[in-house]
Structure 1
Amino acid sequence: VTPEGFPLAYEVLAGNTADKTTLHGFLKKIEGQYGKAERIWVMDRGIPTEEVLEEMRQSDPPVYYLVGTPKGRLSRYEKALTDRPWHQVRDGVEVKLLPQDNEVYVLAQSRDRVHKERSMRRRQLKRLWKRLQELRGMPLSRDQLLLKLGAAQQQSPSAWRLVHLQVPEGDEPWQFSLRKDRLREVRRREGRYLLRTNLVGRDPAQMWEFYTQLVQVEEAFKTLKGDLTIRPIFHQKEDRIEAHIFMAFMVYALHVTLRRRLRDLAPGLTPRSVLEKFAAVQMIDVHLPTTDGREVILTRYTQPEPELQMLLRQLRLSLPNQPPPRVTARGEVTQ
C-alpha cells in the first residue's frame, strides 16, 4: 500500500504455508519486480524471524520494518519504558520510544483502545464470575464440575486467567477467587502495543500512522465479508481463485478510495454508513408490452431521496444517465 493507504498489489500463496516462511521470499520478489527503493514493511509479530530482521538491518540500503512484538517482550522492557516520556502523536494516542542497538521500541497507547479492551474484559469477567457462582450452587460430581469448568474456560479464555480455582480431590467444596495481581497487570497493559522498528529517528506520529495501515488492511477481510457483503465462495480451480481475489482487491481499492474521499469532503461519515444510504437506490427493469407483440424494457435506477442527493453533492459525485431502452424482437433483446 502507499503511505496514504491505497493498495497497489497483492500476492497469493499456496495453502498451508507458515507465515514466518514467507517474508524472505517476498523481500526478494518485491525487489526483483519493482527494484530497490525505500520501502517500509509493516508486519504482524508472527511474520518475521530474528534472522530475517537481522538481514533486513544489514541490507544495503537497509530494508525498513515496523513489526509488532509478543506480549512477553513488553514485560522485558516495561521497567526501562517506565521512565520514558510520553509523546502525543494525535488526539487520544501517545507513544514512548526506547532505543535499543540499531532498533527503536515503540510503546503505543490508544485511549479508544483502552476503553474497548477494558469493556470487553469486564463483560467477559462478569460472565465468567456469574457462571462460576451458578456452578458452585449445583450438586455436581467432581468429573461433572471439571467438564463444566472447561466449558466456562473456553467461553471466557481471557477472563479465566484472572481467576484462581481450587478443586479438591474429596468432597470438600471448591473455591474460586480473583487474582488481583494479574488484574492490575492486565489493566496496566490494556490498549497498549509494543512495536519494534529500525526507523531510527523517525517521527513517532508517522510510525503510528504506518502501523494503523496494517490494522486497516486486516480490517479489509472483515470489510469484504461485512460491508461489501461478499459471501464465502469455495473454488476448486486456481484460475477461479485468482479471479475472485482480483475482484475482491479491486472492490477494496474502491472502498479505500471512498474512505479517503469521505475524510476530505464529508468527515464524520464512514464507508459503512454511506453504503447503507446508497443501498436505497435500486436498479429495476420496467417491461412495457407493445401492440405488435414485442416488449420494451426500460432499465432504471430509482431516484435518490433528498438526503442522498445532498450527500452526492457533498462528495462531488453524480449518477450516470439512465440506460437506453431495449426492445424484444422474436425472443431476442435489441437496443
Structure 2
Amino acid sequence: MRQRRLRNLYERLKELKEMKKITRDELLMKLGTARKEAGRIWNIIDIRIPMKNEKISGDTFTFKINREKLREQQFKEGTYLLRTNLQDGEPEELWQRYILLTEIEQAFKELKSDLHLRPVYHQLDNRIEAHIFVSFLAYCLQITLKQQAKQHAPGITPRAILEKFKTMQMIDVHLPTTDGRELILPRYTYPEKDIALLLYKLKLKLPNQPPPKFQLKITHLRIKIM
C-alpha cells in the first residue's frame, strides 16, 4: 500500500509540474488534494512550492523522495490487526462493517461538535424532537456540502469552508432622503480572493444584490387630545 501511494503521489506531482497555464492558487488546491490522498506518504517527499510572487516553473516547483525518511517510515511500520468475535462472513465483509462503524461514529461526532446537537436545554418532548429534527436537517446540509467539496474541491472540510464564509456578512445601509423617508440598501460584503476561488471550485454563485427599499422615517409622534 505504501509503495502504491508513493507511486501515485509521485506520478501526480509529475502531472502537476507538466501542466501549463496553472496559477499558484490552483496548484495549492491540487497539492492539497494530493496530500489528502497520500496520507503519511506525503512527508516522504521534499517539495519546493513557488513563493507568492514567483512564476511556476521547473526551478520554483521541485520535488524529490527523501530516502532517509523513507527508510525511517519503513522501520516504524507495523501490522493493523482487527479482532472480532464474529465468525461468519469473509474478512473483506468484516472490514467493510468496521469502516461503516467508524463513519457512524464520525457522524455522531459532527452532530455533537460542529452542529452542537448537545446539550439540549429543552424539557418538553415536542421541543426536544424539533431540536433533533433541525439538527438532522443541518447534518444533511453538511453532508451535501462535504460531497460537493469532495467532488469539486478535495482536501478541504465543511468546517473549513464555513469558517471562511464567516467573513462574509449581510448589512443594511440606511440613507435618509429629503422627503423624510429612509433608503435601505441590503448588501453582502464582496468576497475576498480565497473565498472567490472557493466559490468557483464549489460551483457556487452568489445571488444578486437585493434591490433597495424605502421606509417611512417617523421621528416624533404627538397626539393632541381636545
Shift of 1:212: 3.1
Post-superposition Cα deviations, 1:94-117, rounded to whole Å, max 9, x if no partner, equal xxxxxxxxxxxxxxxxxx9xxxxx
Shift of 1:215: 2.8
Gap change, CA 1:317 and 1:291, over 3 Å in 2: same
Gap change, CA 1:252 and 1:292, over 3 Å in 2: same
Which protein is richer in strand relative to its size?
1
In the alignment, is residue 218 of structure 1 matched against residue 105 of structure 2?
yes
Instruction: Tell me how far apart the structure 2 counterparts of residues 293 and 270 of structure 1 sit (CA, whole Å).
Output: 49
Instruction: Tell me how far apart the structure 2 counterparts of residues 217 and 194 of structure 1 sit (CA, whole Å).
Output: 19
Q: SS at the partner of 1:194?
A: coil
Instruction: Tell me how far apart the structure 1 counterparts of residues 213 and 100 of structure 2 sit (CA, whole Å).
Output: 46
Partner of 2:157 in structure 1?
A: 270
For structure 1, list consecutive stretches of 5 or more residues without a partner in the other structure. 1-86, 92-111, 113-189
Gap change, CA 1:305 and 1:229, over 3 Å in 2: farther
Partner of 2:211 in structure 1?
A: 324
Post-superposition Cα deviations, 1:302-323, rounded to whole Å, max 9, x if no partner, equal 1111111111111111112222
Instruction: Tell me how far apart the structure 2 counterparts of residues 325 and 208 of structure 1 sit (CA, whole Å).
Output: 58
Shift of 1:210: 4.5
Instruction: Tell me how far apart the structure 2 counterparts of residues 281 and 233 of structure 1 sit (CA, whole Å).
Output: 29
Asked if the contact 2:149–2:157 (Cα under 8 Å) also holds between the matched residues in 1, the reply is: yes
Gap change, CA 1:289 and 1:244, over 3 Å in 2: same
What is the one-letter code of the residue matched to 1:263?
K
In the alignment, is residue 234 of structure 1 matched against residue 121 of structure 2?
yes
For structure 2, list consecutive stretches of 5 or more residues without a partner in the other structure. 6-38, 40-78, 219-226
Instruction: Tell me how far apart the structure 2 counterparts of residues 209 and 321 of structure 1 sit (CA, whole Å).
Output: 46
Q: SS at the partner of 1:261?
A: helix
Shift of 1:255: 0.8
Shift of 1:225: 4.2
Shift of 1:251: 0.6
Quick one: which of 296, 308, 327 aligns to 2:195?
308
Instruction: Tell me how far apart the structure 2 counterparts of residues 199 and 327 of structure 1 sit (CA, whole Å).
Output: 71
Partner of 1:100 in structure 2?
A: none
Gap change, CA 1:277 and 1:231, over 3 Å in 2: farther
Gap change, CA 1:211 and 1:239, over 3 Å in 2: same
Instruction: Tell me how far apart the structure 1 counterparts of residues 132 and 157 of structure 2 sit (CA, whole Å).
Output: 24
Aligned length: 146
Instruction: Tell me how far apart the structure 2 counterparts of residues 253 and 199 of structure 1 sit (CA, whole Å).
Output: 34
Partner of 1:172 in structure 2?
A: none
In the alignment, is residue 200 of structure 1 matched against residue 89 of structure 2?
yes
What is the one-letter code of the residue matched to 1:312?
L
Q: TM-score, normalised by structure 2?
A: 0.53
Partner of 2:31 in structure 1?
A: none
Which shows bigger deviation, 231-240 or 262-271?
231-240
Q: SS at the partner of 1:317?
A: coil
Which protein is richer in helix relative to its size?
2
Instruction: Tell me how far apart the structure 2 counterparts of residues 198 and 326 of structure 1 sit (CA, whole Å).
Output: 70
Asked if the contact 2:120–2:128 (Cα under 8 Å) also holds between the matched residues in 1, the reply is: no
Partner of 1:281 in structure 2?
A: 168
Gap change, CA 1:269 and 1:236, over 3 Å in 2: same
Post-superposition Cα deviations, 1:151-190, rounded to whole Å, max 9, x if no partner, equal xxxxxxxxxxxxxxxxxxxxxxxxxxxxxxxxxxxxxxx9
Gap change, CA 1:261 and 1:213, over 3 Å in 2: farther
Instruction: Tell me how far apart the structure 1 counterparts of residues 157 and 175 of structure 2 sit (CA, whole Å).
Output: 40
Shift of 1:191: 6.8
Instruction: Tell me how far apart the structure 1 counterparts of residues 185 and 116 of structure 2 sit (CA, whole Å).
Output: 27
Q: TM-score, normalised by structure 1?
A: 0.37
* Aligned-residue identity in percent: 48
Partner of 2:132 in structure 1?
A: 245
Gap change, CA 1:296 and 1:253, over 3 Å in 2: same
Partner of 2:178 in structure 1?
A: 291
